[in-house]
Amino acid sequence: MITRRSKYAIRAILVLARHRHEGALSVDAIAREDDLPRKFLEAIMLDLKVAGIVQATRGKHGGYSLLRSPSRITVGQVIRAAQGPIAPAPCVSATAYGVCEDCRSEAACSVRPVLMAVREAISRVIDLKSVEALARETEALGREAVADFHI
């Protein structure tokens, strides 16, 4: 499941992508632009910094900015930085493998194949979608919503 934390992280990254040529943005500015809870966003931005997705600048004009081009950041990287592994069960995680507590034998598990397929399907989507592509898509959706509203 994609958590609220991950959704907020994606929304914050999209704000930074839109303003990438304007310098660093404060947490307050990011929170105001996309109506995100400031306190929660502070913790998320630290996780994104540790993951090497954003950089923090101190000082009067400080804040956060993308460390790489939005075309080189995937939605999957943002989600994993915000919430950790995306696998539906530990036994199918590519990055945080673990044995399921209620499983007698991984080899004989009748549920594992479908869990593996779910993980692979999710990974294919989020690891191939760049922040730049998502920004273009959300911008287009916004224009359509405005056009529909005015009709």
**Which CATH number characterizes residue 139's domain?**
1.10.10.10
* 9-36 pLDDT tens trace: 999 999 999 999 999 999 999 999 999 9
- Of the listed ranges 49-58, 71-80, 134-143, the one predicted with least confidence: 134-143
CB 33 within 8 A of CB 63: no
- Domain count of the fold of the chain: 1
The set of residues, in sequence order, having a beta carbon less than 8 Å from that of 106 and lying 6+ positions away, is 91, 99, 100, 112
Domain carrying residue 65? 4-150
* 103-113 pLDDT tens trace: 888 888 889 89
Helical H segments across the chain, by residue range: 4-18, 27-34, 38-50, 75-83, 112-128, 131-150
CB 58 within 8 A of CB 24: no
